[in-house]
Chains A and B, each alone.
Chain A
Amino acid sequence: MPPSSIEKAFLKKWLKGLQALSSSSSSSTSKKEMSIFERKKAIKLSADVAMASLKNGTTSWSRALIQNASKDDNNRTLLKNMLGSQCDEKLSRGPTTTSMMCSMRVRSKRVLRRSCRWRRVRKITKDQRVHAGSMAKRLVKKRTQVLRSLVPGGEYMDEYSLFEETLDYIMSLRAQVDVMRRLANASEFSSKS
């Protein structure tokens, strides 16, 4: 299957980031040779950021991803190179409000949960019967929680948004994997021959 436009754009950005990385690494005399793990981390990071930047901040997962990446100071340079200065500024400004709101929401949820825990425990001890419906509900809740942990920035989303974000995230991941696989195969082949 020929690569889609998303994949092409992703590759462009990714390679750009990789170049930045390699140039920075090559320029620094102390660290000429990065360890394999460092390389891998750099590759992965650049790939993720490239994919997220393609979204231009439309999806919350991309925003969250870039925010998480920018938290680490080591990545600042990379991000700057890849995203450009404007993106960096936008991201630094934008998420504050949303993150504040989200954190507030999370805090309130925690308080609520703690308060309800007592009641819940009592209720459970009273009624030992486990209905299929309640069990299924619990399953769904548990799994939703796991999904939140997987999708970047999922903790702050409501259920409906979570599904939408998951959809988009899966699409992006697919494209990312496809491009990376192609590149890996090509590199492998070229290195062999």
Chain B
Amino acid sequence: MDLGDKDKFELEKGSEDPSNFHPSGISLDWRFESANLANTSTGLVPTGNSMSVCKEDLVGSSSCSSASMVESFYPSLWEQPTNQNTLGFCDMIVQTTASTSSALGFRKGLPGSFRAGIEKNLDQAWNPQGTMIKGGMFLPSAAAKLPQSLSQFPADSAFIERAARFSCFNSGNFSDMMNPFNMPDSISPYTKGARMMSGPQEILGGNRFLAEEQSQRNDQGAVGGSNTVSMSVDHVAIEGNPQKNESPRRSHDEAKKGVGVSGNESDEAEFCGGGAQEEASILDCAGGQPSPNKGIGLKKRKRGGQDTELDHIKGVPEHPAEPAKENSENQPKGDQNPTSTANKHNGKNGKQGYQTSENPKEDYIHVRARRGQATNSHSLAERVRREKISERMKFLQDLVPGCSKVTGKAVMLDEIINYVQSLQRQVEFLSMKLATVNPRLDFNIERLLAKDILQSQAGPSTLGFTRDMAIPYPGMLQPPQSGLIQPGLSGLGNSSDALRRTINSQLTALGGGFKEPNSQVHSHS
């Protein structure tokens, strides 16, 4: 649902005039203009943030889900005073479009004036806000910030630029950022000077404008910390007011940038540094920004926690995938390391083995030294040995149950040892069982089979052995037959005697006629 809305939103964005920021089909009216975003509190629960109030206004008709999301996100994220504004605004906008429930949306055909008004509101609302929602708290942040952001939304080009930048911010690191405007590919090359505009443009369709601004802003150092791409997108949409608080925007952009650049905190630091001057005012308003890196880091982490929500909301499936991929890439490397060490051990053992066994194979094995490997004869032989051993280990892996996932020689050896021990123990146990069952060691297979035949047992009692296997048995049985069969027969009775006799006779006749009874025997297996 959210995704659907988002798509719609994006489509609309694309189709419409870039300057027009039209959320499609959003029921929620654009209340920015009217709102004193800091006032009303309806659906969205204010989290003690002025933005929340604005949020309510904006989200008003929208479901409270977004609000709740924002709430949950709010306390954790909304630490940094600055940079929230732009983000909030963007979030709001995006949120409305993204989720039907949120109902945050910009009516189609909102004129630039409206946007300007909204921006102004946002501007007002944002300044006290100061906290940037980081990482993907798209909807929640949007919901939360919208009210505030609307009021505080700076209507300056810088703001728009930042918004655009943020919107483009969805590169790999955005996993926790939950960039609703999922622009993974476009964002990945996002660097200081990168034009990530392609991403936002998808969403808003109007990021072209912002793109230019963002390029300007890229150099700025303000570390908003709020990485919500939506913010930038919103900003882009708003466009009309680039004069927003530069710091929020910048921080926004930078936060987004940081995210876009795979969580490159250094970038954010740069942002912080660059935008110091511009941020001064905002900082004052916001009561000072916490150390940008720290804040960003915190927010990022927090955002990460909210990822799942944001994912839904933002409907940006690709975006989180990138960081996830990166994470997964690191893991296999870690796994490879132990195996490499294991291989080293194999090599060492191989060397010893090589020394002890003078001629492992009589024929010459031509081994070619691989690139980057020692060409010493000893090492080559070691390698050959290692490979042979690893091959054997593979066989053993297949043989020993539950070893397919195990890698490494030591663990494999452990499993093998356990398996062999268990098998040996089973042999002991079964021999004891047989000893108890059979007091005279007279395993009269005929009797057993006959029993099965008599009872037509297909259960565990059947041995499952074909008759041909028992054919030589009578031969063996001849001398002890009398002694063995007698006690066995004693418990069976006359009927079984007759049957047994027939069985015996047939046995001697190469068991041709025992196909039928054998089938019963075989039925078990």
Q: Please classify the interface of chain B as helix (H, G, I), strand (E, B), loop, or mixed, using the class held by over half of its residues.
A: helix
Chain A residues with CB under 8 Å of B448's CB are 183, 186-187, 190
Q: B356 near A105 (CB under 8 angstroms)?
A: yes
Q: A170 near B420 (CB under 8 angstroms)?
A: yes
Q: A39 near B430 (CB under 8 angstroms)?
A: no
Confirm or deny: A11 has a beta carbon within 8 angstroms of a beta carbon on chain B.
yes
Confirm or deny: B389 has a beta carbon within 8 angstroms of a beta carbon on chain A.
yes
Q: B451 near A189 (CB under 8 angstroms)?
A: yes
Confirm or deny: A176 has a beta carbon within 8 angstroms of a beta carbon on chain B.
yes
Confirm or deny: A185 has a beta carbon within 8 angstroms of a beta carbon on chain B.
yes
Contact with A along B438-457 (1 / 0, CB 8 A): 11111101011001100101
CB distance from A81 to the nearest CB of B (A): 10
Considering the complex, which residues of chain B in the window 475-522 have a beta carbon less than 8 Å from any beta carbon of chain A? Answer: 476-477, 479-480, 483-484, 522
Q: B473 near A12 (CB under 8 angstroms)?
A: yes
Pick from B345, B349, B399, B457: contact of A171, CB under 8 Å: B399
Q: A36 near B436 (CB under 8 angstroms)?
A: yes
Confirm or deny: B423 has a beta carbon within 8 angstroms of a beta carbon on chain A.
yes
Q: A132 near B389 (CB under 8 angstroms)?
A: no
Q: A40 near B432 (CB under 8 angstroms)?
A: yes
Distance A24 CA – B484 CA, assembled complex (angstroms): 12
Q: Report the interface size for chain A: residues with CB under 8 A from the other chain.
A: 70
CB distance from B127 to the nearest CB of A (A): 54
Pick from A42, A109, A167, A173: contact of B424, CB under 8 Å: A173
- With A139-B410, A143-B410, A143-B413 already in contact, the answer to whether A163 and B427 are too (CB < 8 A) is no
Confirm or deny: B348 has a beta carbon within 8 angstroms of a beta carbon on chain A.
yes
The A-B contact count (CB < 8 A) is 205
- With A140-B413, A187-B443 already in contact, the answer to whether A180 and B437 are too (CB < 8 A) is no
Confirm or deny: B388 has a beta carbon within 8 angstroms of a beta carbon on chain A.
yes
Pick from B345, B360, B426: contact of A137, CB under 8 Å: B345
Distance A23 CA – B476 CA, assembled complex (angstroms): 11
Considering the complex, which residues of chain A in the window 83-123 have a beta carbon less than 8 Å from any beta carbon of chain B? Answer: 105, 109
Confirm or deny: B385 has a beta carbon within 8 angstroms of a beta carbon on chain A.
yes
Chain B residues with CB under 8 Å of A159's CB are 349-350, 352-353, 389
Distance A177 CA – B341 CA, assembled complex (angstroms): 36
Q: B431 near A136 (CB under 8 angstroms)?
A: no
Q: B410 near A136 (CB under 8 angstroms)?
A: yes
Q: B348 near A137 (CB under 8 angstroms)?
A: yes
Pick from B413, B423, B445, B459: contact of A170, CB under 8 Å: B423
Confirm or deny: B298 has a beta carbon within 8 angstroms of a beta carbon on chain A.
no
Pick from A8, A43, A180: contact of B441, CB under 8 Å: A43
Distance A12 CA – B469 CA, assembled complex (angstroms): 7
CB distance from B444 to the nearest CB of A (A): 9
Q: A163 near B396 (CB under 8 angstroms)?
A: yes
Chain A residues with CB under 8 Å of B342's CB are 136, 140
Pick from B341, B452, B479, B522: contact of A133, CB under 8 Å: B341
Distance A136 CA – B347 CA, assembled complex (angstroms): 13
Pick from A8, A39, A170: contact of B466, CB under 8 Å: A8
Q: A26 near B461 (CB under 8 angstroms)?
A: no
Distance A25 CA – B480 CA, assembled complex (angstroms): 12
Distance A12 CA – B471 CA, assembled complex (angstroms): 10
Q: B480 near A132 (CB under 8 angstroms)?
A: no
- With A23-B480, A136-B341, A164-B392 already in contact, the answer to whether A186 and B462 are too (CB < 8 A) is yes
Confirm or deny: A188 has a beta carbon within 8 angstroms of a beta carbon on chain B.
yes
Distance A45 CA – B426 CA, assembled complex (angstroms): 14
Contact with B along A137-155 (1 / 0, CB 8 A): 1011101101100110000
CB distance from A75 to the nearest CB of B (A): 15
Confirm or deny: B416 has a beta carbon within 8 angstroms of a beta carbon on chain A.
yes
Q: Can you list 10 A-B contacts with CB-CB less than 8 angstroms, sorted by A residue number?
A: A40-B428, A140-B349, A169-B420, A176-B427, A177-B430, A180-B426, A183-B443, A184-B433, A188-B461, A191-B437
Given known contacts A8-B465, A15-B476, A187-B448, what 19 new A-B pairs fall within 8 Å (CB)? Answer: A11-B465, A15-B445, A25-B441, A39-B439, A40-B434, A105-B356, A133-B344, A133-B345, A136-B345, A137-B345, A140-B342, A147-B417, A159-B349, A160-B389, A170-B399, A170-B420, A173-B424, A186-B452, A190-B451
Q: Which 9 A-B pairs have the closest CB atoms?
A: A189-B461, A39-B435, A143-B413, A163-B392, A22-B441, A40-B435, A44-B431, A180-B430, A173-B423
